[in-house]
Each structure stands twice: as C-alpha cells, then as structure tokens.
Structure 1
C-alpha cells in the first residue's frame, strides 16, 4: 500500500537526506589525507587505507544489508546503516589510534546499505506516479554528495582541524537517522519466500570482494606484477568460484545467481561498472590536473580547496539530471538517459583532451560530466527494478552498487597508473600527455557504457505500471 502525497513527500525527503550522507562520508576524507598522515605519523601509502577501509566495508556490506532489508524490513536496516555512520564518526573524533581510525572508516562503510534500501522503500511505499522521479533524485544525490563532501572538508580544514570533518558527518548522520525514523513506515520485508541467508555465502562474498578490491586499490603502490597483488587476485578468483558454487547450491542464496544472469540485470550491471569506471577516473584526473603548478605550462596551481570548488559544476549537473532523467524515463524509458549519460560523459572528457587552457574549460566539462553521470545513474535502477520482483529490489540494487564500486576502483587505479607512468623530468608531476591519455581512457569508459543499453532487448516496465 502506498502513502498519501503529503507523507510520500516527507519520505522522499528522508531518503534524499540519508542518501546524501553516504557519498559525503566517502569523499570528505580526500582533502584531509595529508593532515591525517601527519596527525597519526603514518606514510602517504599507509594513510590511503583510510579510503580503502571504507571502500571494502561498503562493497561487502551493501548487498548483505540489501538482502537483509528485503527479508526483515528496510526501515530497520536503513537505521542500522546510518547509525554505523554515526558510530564511526564518534570513534573518529575521539581516537588517537590509526588502527581505530580505520575501524571508524569501516563503520562508515555500513552506510553503503542506504542506496539499495532507499530504492526498496521508494518502490514499495511511494505512489507509482512519483516513484520514477524519486529514484532519479535519490540516484543523482550520490554525485551531489560526492562533490559537496570534498568542498565542505576543504572549507572546514581552512579554519579547524580534521576532527571538524567527522563532527559534521556525525551531525549529518544523526539528522538523516531522525528523518528516516520519523518518515519511513515500519515494514516486515517483502520477500516472503526468501527464507534465511547462507553464512558461508556471506563469508565467501566478503573474502573475494576484499581480495579483489585491495589488489586493485593498492596495485599502483605495490606493483601490478608483485607477489601481493597477484596473490590477492588469485585468492579472489578461487574464492569467487567457491562463492558461485555455494550460492548455486543453497536453498536460500544471499544473491540469487539466476537474477544476476537475466540479460537486463547483467547488462545494466555492466553499464554501471563502466560508468563507475569513468566517473571516478574523471574525478581523479580532473582534481589532479587542477593542482598542477602552472610553471609546467598547464594546470592551475589550485589548492585542495580550490580543486574541490572546481567540482561544484559537477554537483550542479547531477542536480539538473534528476528532473531531466525523470522526464525522459517517463516519456521514452530508461534507455535514452542511460545512452545520453554515457555520451555526455565521453564528450566532456574528450573536450578536456583538446581544451584545458582555462579554468572555464574545467568548469564546463565538469558540468557536462555531472549531467551525464546523473542521467546514467538515474536510469540504472529503473532497468534493474523492471527485471526483478519487489522482494529482491534491495539486494539487486545492492549488487549493482558493488559492481559500480569495482568499476570505480578500477577507474581510479587505471588513471592513477597512467598519470604516474609519465612524469615531468625530475618531478612526480604527470606530463600533459599523461593527462590527455587519462582523459581519453575515461572517455572510452563512458562511451562503452553508452553502447551497452542497445544490447538490452527486453522492454523495461515503466515505473507507473509496476504494482507496488
């Protein structure tokens, strides 16, 4: 049963509030990594685990929390996800141990469960005519939150120390949890035949995802042909095969492999992976390019704060994408915004390959790139939800989010390797040729994502035709 228009407006506002917290938690630490390295007396390579710990926890827990929400009720799992962010922030502001800081960042990763759970709530609770717009807005809020997180952290570091960043995240987490508690009705789950979950499936999923993401995230620092990276990739392959075997034989799988094998779901997951590759690769190369000293003949000598501010057009593009995507989906279905999103992302990165002499070029490309990723990510859940029953909404979108994370880690690693492989003589700064190559690689990722929807033959069910 759906809610009245007034109550559904409050619910959607709560979902947007909750969804914005998670990307802010991911990106807010980027400007403060040097400060954290100094505060905790660790190396630059060690402090990168502040990002990696969050990435690993989010990747592992997102599909698990989505599945548990389908089984036992999404409201309580939403609150658990947000309280993980709160607990992590409390620990981060109070600890003087780097090990405990990593635990705090892992607790922040519990917030990754908000995305699939929010989609499940929207599909189940919002009036059908508002569901498409709601999903589009929640999807695009990820990009908005990512940009705002970097800017907010840069501003806070101008006046206070790194703890101010975690204090802000603590407040945002509490506000989001309160909004969910007040606006989201209690539910008992929708997967009535799902039974329980397999602990072995959860453990093997966690092991192979962690091994894969650590290898990809640390490959540039450890060496891609080194023993540690190759060993982790081997572990990931073996345990993934074991996980597939466990899931295919258990009566109540954590992730239904038959669902993943459906062409619409599989191809949409591929599009999400490629879009994640392009998006995070673009973030890396654009912010790095802005900070290159102008004495090298390119770049803008931007501080971390200014580089973050240069991403604001990206957030503005994401914001505009929410309304545009909902209109396009209602009139033409999800294929148009997904294709258009990839094309816009590719165009923005290709533009920077040839035009990068002015900050205006970066602002323009950022706005177009943000509009493109916003359109793509708004269309993706519509495709996924059209191919799965309501009882699998959260876990299906959670799995999609994990594959997006894998794509993001790969995009960051590949662009990082390209930039590190060609540097200005006597410095660690990448050359202009390296940046141009990185721009083209991210453009290729977006272009590949734009091609995928043409292989999806089934007609997605419009959101207003679904039975909530």
Structure 2
C-alpha cells in the first residue's frame, strides 16, 4: 500500500503504464471498479422485482420502505463518504462500504420479520454512495490519457447490467423467492469487496486536516433525505397534505441552513467555492438531469409493458416479465454498444460536443417513444433511438465532470453528481406518477393508466433532456485531464 503523505502531490496511487495504452493490470483495475459500481444498478432492478415477494411474505402494506430505506440512508451518507474518501483514501472507504453492504443484504435475506428486513436494507444503504468514489478513483489510478475512456466504459456498462439483470431477477425469484435476490446481492457485494481489496491501489488523500464537519454533513444529508422522502411519499400522501409540505419545508430549511453553516466551518464537508464556479454548476446540473432521464425512463417503461391491456381501462401492453426482458434486450444492447463506442473517442474529440449530440438524440428518441409505443416493433425502434442518446449520456457524464474539476476536486464533483441524480430521480419519478394518475381509471381500488398518461411520461423525459441540453450549450470548453494530470516535463535549458 502506498504510504500517505501530507501533500496531495505525493503518495499517489501507482500510475504505471503512463503511455496511455491498456494493459492487463488496467483491465483488471477497471473491472474491480466497474463491478461494484454497476452492482448498484443491478441491485435496483433485483430489488424492484423482489418487492412484491416481500410484501406477500410479511403481509405488509408498507413495502414501499423496502426500497426507500436504502435510498434514504444512501442519500444521507453521501456527503460523509465524499469527505472520508478525501481524508483517508477512497480505497479504505470503499472497502468499509462494501463490507457493510454485504452484511446488510445478508441480514435482510435472513430476517424473519419485516422490520428486520428494513434494518438490513438500512445497513446495505451504506454501500449506496459507492459511485461517488469509484469514478473519482479512476482519475487517481488510471494514466491521464485513459481517464475519459475508462470513465466512459464504466458509465456505459450500465447497459450491460440492464441486459442481464431482468433475466437474473426472474431466475432468482422464480426459484428462491425474494430471499434469492437478496442472497445474490450479498454474495456479489462480498465479491466486490475482494476485487477492491486485491486490485485497487490506495488513492491519494486530498484533505489533511484533522477536522470533520459532522454538523454540515448532517444538515446537508438530512435536508436532501427529507426532500427525497417527501417526494417519494407525495403521491400516496397527497401533494398538498400537511405531511408532504412539512417534510419538503423541513428539507428546504435544512438546505438553506447548510449554506450558512458551511460559511463558519474551518473544514467544511463540501467546498462551496468549487460549486459556485459556473462550469462546475452547469456540468453537475446538466449531468444530473440527463443521467436521471437515462436511468429512470426505462424503469417507468416497465409499467407500460407489464400493466394489462384492457380497452378503455388500461393501456398497458400486458407482457409478462420474461417477455419484457426478451424485448428490452434490443435497446439495452444499443445503449451498451453506443457507450462503449463513444468511450473510445472521448479522448480524441471534444467531449462536450459528443455529450450535446447524445442529449439531442435522447430528447428526439423519447419524443418518438411518446408517440409510438403501442406495439413491440414501435417500442423497439423508438427506444433504440432514445438509448443511442442514453448510451452517450452515461458514457459522457463522467468525462463532463472530469473536464470541469481538478484532480483534487474529483471526489466532490462525482459525489455531488450522485446526490443530484438521486434527488432529480425522486422528483422525476414522482412527477411521472402524478402525470399517470391524472389520466387513470380506478377499478376496485387499483389504478390503471390510459395511453395519454404513458405518452406524457415519455414526453416529460424528453423535456428534462432538452433542459439539460440547453444548460450544456453554455458550458465552457472542458479541461483535458491528460494535460492537467501529466507529470511536469524536464526543465528547459
């Protein structure tokens, strides 16, 4: 392990292979970072498929907490994970996170009561901020010329996860119920621990003071968590209900208070001076909005696929989960392939232009999905167009952040992007359900959605993507990490 030094200029993780070529060591390093990062996406798909089994096993009407508990804990802890990574090195923090994640999923799988399941999921939530550190670790451990390409491959591999996870979920749950999905997550997270421990070198420390801003972290994490919780519950409580408004108000007050708290802290948990820079603010906001659409829309499309087709009552396609998995292979393969292709060219072309092109294609794609989604062929063609753009977005977002922050600020940038994706994701999901509810039919207490509602949730995704594109057009030229991170040359004579 590389010894820590009191200066960020030394004590760096080994960065061999500086000629910018891929080597077996770098391939293994990328796998060690990509596996646990994309396990977060796989966990979301497996968890969504396990939810019905949990509800039936414990006869609970509060099954929403099965997923929400993990999300809330992850949101609360993200600011602390960013700071701890800078203080103690990202590898140590990632190891602690994966160990707790495996422990939590195992506890949930063994639980004999619903509340113990929730306790396990809360512990598993410690693993949630992993992505805030893994993309930053790429900047620390890869040769500068490969940072953009490696980040792009890591981001685009979510398409590969989306290809296999629905089939994996069906096999696990059909054979072993919801516990099978949880045991798989526990084992896969334990494997992630081994990969990180054996293949990821220690990363440099960028914060060397002894102070830790616990108050700022609690105020920021608590504020974000309150907003996410209110948005997640707003549809069931009612958007004008006192509980919803109370949680939203408390979250807003906490976030405003955070701005004042950080001004007085000697060692703030987030450097607000970095976030006040226009390129950083634009890149994080645009990246958060675009990735939210890329990650959230496919999940919402599952509603269209799986809800029954009842003329005049429900405009779903009435597919089985297995049939949906088979059909969705097409657009998920497009997303993965596009991401891989784009990641190869990020180092040769202006990443900002590639990013904007991806946003334009994704906006056009989801506009088309809104108009044409009533048959398999229509949904395949329009979704493939949308996922060409989504592949560019998930591959390009890490390069966008790399291009506006310094190496020392990479953890902060990646962490803030993660927090914004969580926040925007909760808001977009709640907004989509509100749109669906406005055009629904209730039969024996169950809401069925009509076609206008499905069209508008895809058009909503297109509008959010368009907003991200407008912001992206005014982002100034990006930095090249290959130039910024390269070691200084010999002095001139």
Q: TM-score range by the shorter chain?
A: over 0.9
Deviation at 1:382, TM superposition (A): 2.0
- The aligned length equals 464
1:429 correspondence with 2:448:
yes
Q: 1:229 to 1:420 in 2, by over 3 A?
A: same
Deviation at 1:314, TM superposition (A): 4.0
SS of aligned partner of 1:429? strand
Structure 2 Cα separation of the partners of residues 308 and 108 of structure 1: 27
Q: 1:7 to 1:303 in 2, by over 3 A?
A: same
2:70 to 54, 57, 61: 54
Correspondence for 2:467: 448
Structure 2 Cα separation of the partners of residues 387 and 281 of structure 1: 25
1:333 correspondence with 2:350:
yes
Answer yes or no: is the 8 Å Cα contact 1:281–1:412 preserved in 2: yes
Correspondence for 2:206: 191
Correspondence for 1:402: 419
1:251 to 262, 266, 274: 266
Q: 1:78 to 1:321 in 2, by over 3 A?
A: farther
1:10 correspondence with 2:28:
yes
1:170 correspondence with 2:186:
yes
Deviation at 1:197, TM superposition (A): 2.1
Correspondence for 2:388: 371
Q: 1:276 to 1:194 in 2, by over 3 A?
A: farther
SS of aligned partner of 2:28? helix
Q: How does 1:143-292 map to 2 (within 5 A)?
A: 143-146=159-162, 148-187=164-203, 189-193=204-208, 195-292=210-307
Residue segments in structure 2 that go unaligned for 5+ positions in a row: 1-13, 18-22, 487-493
Deviation at 1:77, TM superposition (A): 1.1
Correspondence for 2:58: 40
Answer yes or no: is the 8 Å Cα contact 2:172–2:180 preserved in 1: yes
Answer yes or no: is the 8 Å Cα contact 1:133–1:322 preserved in 2: no
Deviation at 1:455, TM superposition (A): 1.1
1:69 to 69, 75, 85: 85
Structure 2 Cα separation of the partners of residues 284 and 25 of structure 1: 13
TM-score (norm 1): 0.93
Answer yes or no: is the 8 Å Cα contact 1:191–1:390 preserved in 2: no
Larger radius of gyration: 2
Give the stretch that moved more between structures: 298-307 or 126-135. 298-307
Correspondence for 2:336: 319
CA RMSD of aligned residues (A): 2.0
Structure 2 Cα separation of the partners of residues 114 and 281 of structure 1: 19
Correspondence for 2:3: none
Kindly provide the CA deviation profile for residues 35-60 of structure 1, in whole angstroms up to 9, marking residues without a partner as x.
111111101xx111111111112222
Structure 1 Cα separation of the partners of residues 194 and 427 of structure 2: 35
Structure 2 Cα separation of the partners of residues 400 and 61 of structure 1: 14
1:438 to 457, 467, 470: 457
Q: 1:283 to 1:84 in 2, by over 3 A?
A: same
SS of aligned partner of 1:162? helix
1:141 correspondence with 2:141:
no
Deviation at 1:285, TM superposition (A): 3.2
Kindly provide the CA deviation profile for residues 337-360 of structure 1, in whole angstroms up to 9, marking residues without a partner as x.
321222222222211222123112
Deviation at 1:311, TM superposition (A): 3.5
Q: 1:57 to 1:359 in 2, by over 3 A?
A: same
Answer yes or no: is the 8 Å Cα contact 2:369–2:383 preserved in 1: no
Kindly provide the CA deviation profile for residues 313-340 of structure 1, in whole angstroms up to 9, marking residues without a partner as x.
3432332133232234223222123212
Q: Which runs of 4+ in 1 moved over 4 A?
A: 192-195
Answer yes or no: is the 8 Å Cα contact 1:70–1:393 preserved in 2: no
Answer yes or no: is the 8 Å Cα contact 1:201–1:253 preserved in 2: yes
Deviation at 1:195, TM superposition (A): 4.7
Deviation at 1:147, TM superposition (A): 5.4
Q: 1:164 to 1:258 in 2, by over 3 A?
A: same
Deviation at 1:179, TM superposition (A): 1.1
2:368 to 333, 347, 351: 351
